[in-house]
């Protein structure tokens, strides 16, 4: 009887086919790695240091959208707090509402500003191309607003018992600042449930761009421009490319900035941030658009992009937090 020689298993190696610095690696087998992603950490009830509580929830009727909600320390059962719907950064490609980076930051904001924060876990590109992230964030804001008249099924008790729906804010950093702008534009065109109005929008080092440089931005060929490459990965078939209104607020077909659906706007920039000039450019264009609201620009000298996240104990981070507290508590 002839012997059967076992075949040698074929070793399949995967190769990186797309990479953006260390943000994201896409491999030949379709798998994706996000090297800069911070580890996830659990929520906590009655934090012994700050007294705040946090928990994770799924937005009812939107199973693709989850969030982490933060409640400040309750000293009076009838206390009502402003409500902030927050959109994390990460180039629309990485990071999470559940990551250590954002958990540490938002629990500090909730405690120091005495504000309820709902941090949205929106879907990321490239698995879920733009505009999925904007749909998720709008759905989360609508759900929060639906608590205003206390008739919603599947209510979140923290919002019902302690949310002040006359003081609803939206905000985010970097890509989350971009989302904040787009949600404010949508709120100007479409009513929120229970006729809730957005009191303020906070855009921290917002990610905007265009096919042309502005300010001190260098002239870089599109194939070598990281911001352009990231946008095309997030939105491969973007109408008008880098001048799509979702990334260029003055792009072809963009709604007038006069239509921003909020009463107050705080734009934060950092002197050494590559996105600094875009934030100032946005502020200047809102100012001359005819938008009828209170507009503020806050700049931190000698700091880089989202410094307050990476250096939370620094004097400049503390200054930023105080600016934030003043804006939401006025």
Enumerate the active-site residues. 174, 273
> Dihedral, CA atoms, 18, 19, 24, 25, nearest 10 degrees?
60
For residue 150, the 8-state DSSP code is: S
Cα–Cα distance between 146 and 212 in angstroms, integer? 41
For residue 196, the 8-state DSSP code is: -
Contacts of 37 (CB under 8 A, 6+ apart): 94, 95, 96, 99
The HSE-up count of residue 45 (CA atoms within 13 Å, CB side) is 3
Cα–Cα distance between 146 and 152 in angstroms, integer? 6
Are 206 and 177 spatial neighbours (Cβ–Cβ below 8 Å)?
yes
| DSSP element (H, E) containing 6 | none
Are 316 and 105 spatial neighbours (Cβ–Cβ below 8 Å)?
no
For residue 314, the 8-state DSSP code is: S
Q: Where are the beta strands (DSSP E) in the chain?
A: 16-20, 24-27, 32-33, 53-58, 66-71, 81-87, 116-121, 163-173, 198-204, 262-270, 294-300
Are 92 and 128 spatial neighbours (Cβ–Cβ below 8 Å)?
no
């Amino acid at each position: 009887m002839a012997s059967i020689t076992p075949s040698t298993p074929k070793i399949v190696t995967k190769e990186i086919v797309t990479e953006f610095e260390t943000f994201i690696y896409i491999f030949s087998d379709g798998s994706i790695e996000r090297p800069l992603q911070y580890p996830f950490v659990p929520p906590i009830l009655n934090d012994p240091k700050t007294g705040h509580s946090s928990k994770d929830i799924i937005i009812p009727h939107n199973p693709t959208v989850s969030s982490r909600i933060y409640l400040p320390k309750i000293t009076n059962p009838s206390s009502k707090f402003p409500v902030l719907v927050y959109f994390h950064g990460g180039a629309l490609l990485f990071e999470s509402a559940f990551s250590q980076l954002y958990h540490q930051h938002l629990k500090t904001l909730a405690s120091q500003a005495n504000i309820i924060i709902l941090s949205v876990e929106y879907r990321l590109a490239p698995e879920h191309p733009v505009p999925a992230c904007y749909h998720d964030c709008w759905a989360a804001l609508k759900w929060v607003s639906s608590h205003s008249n206390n008739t919603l099924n599947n209510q979140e008790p923290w919002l019902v018992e302690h949310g002040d729906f006359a003081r609803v804010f939206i905000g985010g950093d970097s890509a989350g600042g971009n989302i904040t702008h787009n949600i404010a534009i949508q709120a100007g065109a479409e009513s929120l449930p229970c006729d809730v109005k957005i009191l303020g929008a906070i855009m921290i080092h917002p990610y905007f761009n265009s096919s042309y440089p502005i300010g001190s931005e260098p002239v870089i060929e599109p194939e070598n421009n990281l911001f352009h490459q990231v946008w095309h990965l997030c939105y491969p078939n973007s109408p008008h490319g880098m001048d799509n209104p979702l990334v260029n607020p003055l792009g072809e077909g963009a709604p007038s900035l006069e239509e921003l659906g909020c009463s107050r706007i705080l734009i934060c920039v950092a002197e050494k941030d590559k996105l600094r000039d875009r934030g100032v450019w946005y502020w200047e264009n809102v100012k001359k658009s005819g938008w009828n609201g209170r507009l503020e620009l806050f700049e931190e000298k000698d700091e880089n992009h989202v410094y307050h996240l990476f250096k939370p104990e620094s004097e400049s981070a503390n200054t930023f937090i105080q600016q934030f507290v003043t804006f939401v508590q006025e």
